[in-house]
Every structure is written in structure tokens, then in C-alpha cells.
Amino acid sequence: MLRQLCCAITALVGCVTIAAAQQGAGAAGTWNATTTIGAKDSVGPTYVLKIAPDGKTATIRFVRRDPIPTRIVAMAGDSIVIETGPYPSVLRPGQTVTLLRTVVHYNSNAMTGTFEAKYSNGDVVKGKTKARRAK
């Protein structure tokens, strides 16, 4: 009986490990993203999000900028929470984004979600983001 229980637990742990790896792999790749800001959805900066195959690390690259290391804070089901920063602001020259927190949901080749950018002067900018998986 104990041997059967040990085998069942080992099989369950293996299934959970495989599922976690597949989950990260589902979001892995390159995503071309756009942002909108404010009540009237003003067009914001575009960026490229690259999620590593292991689903644990990522980078964000704004147009004409170097890639910025990005932390994957949580990944479950179809949801990802990522944090980036600090980095020089794209929208506000001379200011620093201390933290960009993005929450997205993905389905196959589409990703949608929201973001909140906190600036060093205390300002907070909120908006939406959409992305398509690069081909």
C-alpha cells in the first residue's frame, strides 16, 4: 500500500512539473505590443516583450531603446504578472519609471491586459496593453 502511494505521489509531482513547464512555454516567445493611456485610449508607446522558454525571465524593448530586464512575478493559467524598472521614461524625458507593473492574459497568439507605471516624482499612469505573438 505504501509503495503504491509513493508511486502515485511521484506520478502526480511529475505531472505538475510538466504542466508548469508547458505553461511557461505557452507564453514564451516574442510579443509585439501596443499601449493606450487614459479615458480616451490615447496611443502610448509600443514595445517588444520577449519571454524566455523557461517562462521565468523576460525583457521589454521600447523603440530605439536597449532591452530592459523584466521580472515575471507570477504566472498561472493564462495570466502573467510582470514588473520592469527602474528605467528612463519613454513618455516623459528626464523622468524615471521606478516600476512598471503589467498584468496580462494570453490565448494562443493574443495577449491583453493593463499596466501601471509609477514615476520617481510620485505620478502614476495607468493604461491598457495588447500584443500579438511575432511570427
Angstrom distance (rounded) from CA 33 to CA 89: 17
What integer pLDDT is reported at residue 25 of this predicted model?
59
The residues spanned by each domain of the chain are: 2-133
CATH architecture of 2-133: Beta Barrel (2.40)
Quick check: 83 and 97 in contact, CB under 8 A?
Answer: no
Pairing between strand 57-62 and 42-43?
unpaired
Q: Looking at the DSSP assignment, which residues form a beta bridge with residue 62?
A: 47
| Confidence band of 111 (pLDDT split at 50, 70, 90) | very high
pLDDT at 26: 86
Nearest Cα to 84, choosing from 94, 69, 64?
A: 69
Task: Report, as an integer, the average pLDDT of 25-39.
Answer: 91
pLDDT (average), residues 81-110: 96
Grid cell at residue 41 = 485610449
How far apart are the two ends of the chain, measured CA to CA in Å?
Answer: 51
pLDDT of residue 13 exceeding 70, the answer is no
| 119 confidence band (pLDDT: 50, 70, 90) | very high
pTM of the model: 0.79
Mean pLDDT of the residues in the chain: 85
The DSSP bridge pattern shows strands 87-88 and 47-51 to be unpaired
Quick: pLDDT tens for 16-30.
333 333 444 589 999
Q: Is pLDDT of 98 > 50?
A: yes
Residue 83 vs residue 1, higher pLDDT: 83
Which of 98, 82, 91 has the alpha carbon at shortest distance from 38?
91
- For position 38, what pLDDT does the model report? 85
Strands (E), 3-135: 29-37, 42-43, 47-51, 57-62, 68-76, 79-84, 87-88, 96-107, 110-119, 124-133
- Check residue 135 and give its pLDDT: 83
